[in-house]
Structure 1
Amino acid sequence: MMNFCKLLSSYQDLVITFVVTEEWLGLIGSAPKPSNIRFRSIPNVIPSEVGRGADFAGFLEAIFTKMADPFDRLLDQLDQPIGCIIADTYLPWVVEIGNRRSIPVASLWTMPPAVFSIFHHYHLITSNLHLTADDDLPVGLTQQEGGVI
């Protein structure tokens, strides 16, 4: 996502606000960046990077349920009008916020294309019995009517 923002920053009339948690701001805040990219943070409402893998399902639940309100409040604090929001596809609540505020939202798939292909073709994987209901699924995936939830 940051690489994409750096590409966008070549348009000098754009001001890009890169929103991360306070923990991530501490990790990347001192990294060199173009002058028209600014960092803003929301509170650490998701599990820390340290030990996150021990409860990946809890991490996903926090992303889906705890980040929207702090992000929405942050938008009220920005000193420049927002022309659009570009968000990671894993943050579906951003679309609701953008719609409510009449701000266009673009969803950017930040994971490898192979992951997208698996999600997109999951129904074929299950319908062709490459993965059956008795197989162990990766954390976060469940089978329901041949789809991913």
Structure 2
Amino acid sequence: MDEILAGLQNSNVNFVWVARGEASRLKEICGDKGLVLPWCDQLRVLCHSSVGGFWTHCGWNSTLEAVFAGVPMLTFPLFLDQDPNSNQIVEDWKIGWEVKREIGTQKILTREEIAEAIKGFMDLNSDEGIEIRRKARQLRDICQGATTESGSSVINLTAFIQDISQGHNH
């Protein structure tokens, strides 16, 4: 956590960090570029127009919220489903970069590596930055279209509710 915080500070990028158990300790050392909170409404924050990227452990809910918000991701998977979720984000959807280096079973990054990754990722004028954000917006539009009245999510949920309300057995 200390290396991530130092990397964030060294990147000179403004950030919000939600750190449940360590918020008060990290808040004391985060400096004027960062806001450390014990909790936030993550989807609401991700949907804010000032958010340019999301450092994530790649839990599925966080992944879906970032896709829905159209925010590209720096992925830092730790275990379980997070590795395949990271692969989906980076390799399949191409809306993120993975930031990890494994030494044995440890995932280790130095503050310098973290700062460089963040600076590169937040370069909104690079060809890669432009493309990754275009793809993130494209996925956002697909997701948000699915939740409109005529979208696939609403249609499928309505059909499901009608089906179980009528007592059909399949």
What TM-score do the two structures reach when normalised by structure 1? 0.43
Of structures 1 and 2, the one with the larger relative CO (CA 8 A, separation 6+) is 2
What TM-score do the two structures reach when normalised by structure 2? 0.39
Larger proportion of helix: 2
